[in-house]
Chains A and B, each alone.
Chain A
Amino acid sequence: MSPLSALWHATVGKKIVMAVTGIVMVLFLISHVISNVLIFSNPGHLDSYGAWLRSLGPLLWIARAVLLACVILHGIAAWQLTQRAHAARPDGYDKYERQVTTYAGRTMRWGGVLLAVFIVFHILHFTTGTFHPDFHPGEVGRNVITGMAVTPVAIFYLVAMLALGAHLWHGTWSVFQTLGINHPAWNRSRKVIAIGLAVLIAGGFATIPLAALLGWLR
């Protein structure tokens, strides 16, 4: 067995895959959230961001392929590990008290499913326009404003961002553990970094549907 396939076949290895793909997705989200909040300064900025993206041509497609691969690998590993966990304890306890698991940790699986649904919806919403009531290719800023104007959609976005925040909170801390990035000197800061990243990314995104709901986005 090659080392990499051995890695994939080990539970720890699958977690390493999830961590690495998670990091790639987080990096994308960092750039994505920064560009998205530009909408508050001027929706036009978003348009030029979109134009720049599309100008990348093949590079964009490579990036898209990488992201897609990440989502898929991440999802498959998540599914398999979940199945394993269920198989490892087929009969549950009559009484079971969690001592330390955070709410975020507890919701990784369903939160992940919600994120998967969100991503599909989101691409059909803003990239292909399929679910968009009034889609104008290229006019990214306008699409966002009009898309978010639909209240249920904005609420869905908000809920998804809550799930994202939780996922990133536990996920980021978890990445440190999974990749063995630890040192007693700064182990405490791992939790701070995790919460910080979760709040900044999810919070940053959430400002947009929130602003739309409050009627500040037009």
Chain B
Amino acid sequence: MRITLKVWRQPGPAVAGAFHTYHADDVSPDMSFLEMLDVVNEDLTAKGEEPIAFDHDCREGICGTCSLMIDGVPHGPKRATTTCQLHMRTYEDGDVIVVEPWRASAFPVLRDLVVDRTAFDRIIQAGGFVTAPTGSAQDGNAMLIPKEVSDLAMDAAACIGCGACVAACPNGSATLFTAAKVSHLALLPQGQPERQRRVQAMVRQMDAEGFGGCSNFGECEAACPKEISLENIARMNRELLRATLAQRPAGRMESGAG
């Protein structure tokens, strides 16, 4: 089939970008979206133009590297599917597809469709961990964790850090990402000792990165390829409220970047 692409091209971080139109004439329905872009890139290379830069690695929906705003929806139209797992059979001959990078001031564009998501790493640095230095652990079965709790924590821990939640949110908010990690660790007994500091430090870092606040629009959940639930946002808010009411000064975590 024939597909027309309107792709955002931007040579570098501080350079103005623009949309360019490309045609992919021989698209097979079995191709993944990224394989379709590979083909376009082979064409561009053959013509002596620079290929479109886009992030990807595992191409099986788990590493969270691929991104792309496809026709106004992060990761494209299929529910619970990353861009690398989106297949061209979703489209029809003659379709025109608009492809843009994630847009958020905390995710500056590096080139074409590639953005810088290190803000997420810094949110984790602020407190998204359990302090458990190597060698200090007790036996894995010494702590009983009800299956339900463990499953719920796993639901939250499934986040792949792709940033689609930020891309989808009208406020450019990283609340779903942050809430997923706060929830994962707040639910488990291992996360208890640092529970209050963690949520305060992570929320502070999230704000410091320049993400917007949450208006509970729910776009993030709809866009999330791992179906991270809005329940996590409620849980994070509750955690923050509880931490504040517990009157612990909002100190830095011992090793937090705050």
Mark A residues whose CB is within 8 Å of B: 1-4, 6-7, 9-16, 81, 84-85, 87-101, 105, 108, 170, 173-174, 176-182, 184, 187
Is there contact, CB below 8 Å, between A182 and B235? yes
B98 touches A180 (CB 8 A): no
A4 CB, min distance to chain B CBs, angstroms: 7
Given A89-B105, A177-B233, A98-B219 contact (CB < 8 Å): yes
**Does A100 lie within 8 Å of B219, measured CB to CB?**
yes
- What's the Cα separation between A184 and B219 when bound, in Å? 20
B217:A88 contact, CB within 8 angstroms: no
CA distance A91 to B100 in the complex (A): 12
A115: min CB distance to chain B, Å: 16
B contact set with A: CB distance below 8 Å: 6, 8, 19, 69, 71-73, 98, 100, 103-106, 168, 170-173, 175, 200, 203-204, 206-207, 210-219, 221-223, 230-231, 233-241, 244-245, 247-250
A33–chain B nearest beta-carbon distance, Å: 24
CB distance from A94 to the nearest CB of B (A): 6
Interface of A is mostly: helix
Partner of A97, one of B73, B105, B200: B73
Sample 9 A-B pairs with CB under 8 A, ordered by A number. Answer: A16-B237, A16-B241, A81-B212, A87-B105, A88-B104, A97-B71, A100-B222, A178-B237, A180-B239
Contact, CB under 8 Å: B233 / A10: no
B238 touching A179, Cβ below 8 Å: yes
Residues A6 and B219 in contact in the complex (CB < 8 Å), given A88-B171, A93-B100:
no
Which of A14, A91, A99, A181 has a CB less than 8 Å from the CB of B168?
A: A99
A15 touches B237 (CB 8 A): yes
Nearest Cβ on chain B to A120's Cβ, whole angstroms: 24
- In the complex formed, the residue of A with least CB distance to B210 is A88
Closest to A19 in B: B237
Q: Which of A1, A96, A187 has the largest count of B CB atoms less than 10 A from its CB?
A: A96
Name the B residues within 8 Å of A184 (CB-CB): 231
Complex contact A81–B235 (CB within 8 A): no
Q: How far is the CA of A79 from the CA of B204 in the complex (A)?
A: 20
Further pairs besides A1-B249, A81-B212: 11, Cβ < 8 Å: A10-B207, A12-B203, A12-B213, A13-B244, A81-B215, A85-B171, A97-B71, A99-B168, A100-B217, A177-B233, A182-B235
- Checking B19, B173, B203, B222 against A99 with a beta-carbon cut-off of 8 angstroms, the contacting residue is B222
A12 to B173, CA, bound (A): 11
Q: How far is the CB of B142 from chain A (nearest CB, A)?
A: 29
Residues of B within 8 A of A90 (CB): 105
Q: Which among A2, A95, A108, A174 is the interface contact of B72 at CB below 8 angstroms?
A: A95
A10 close to B204 (CB less than 8 A): yes
Say yes or no: B104 contacts A95, CB within 8 Å: no
Contacts of A6 in B (CB 8 A): 200, 204, 244, 250
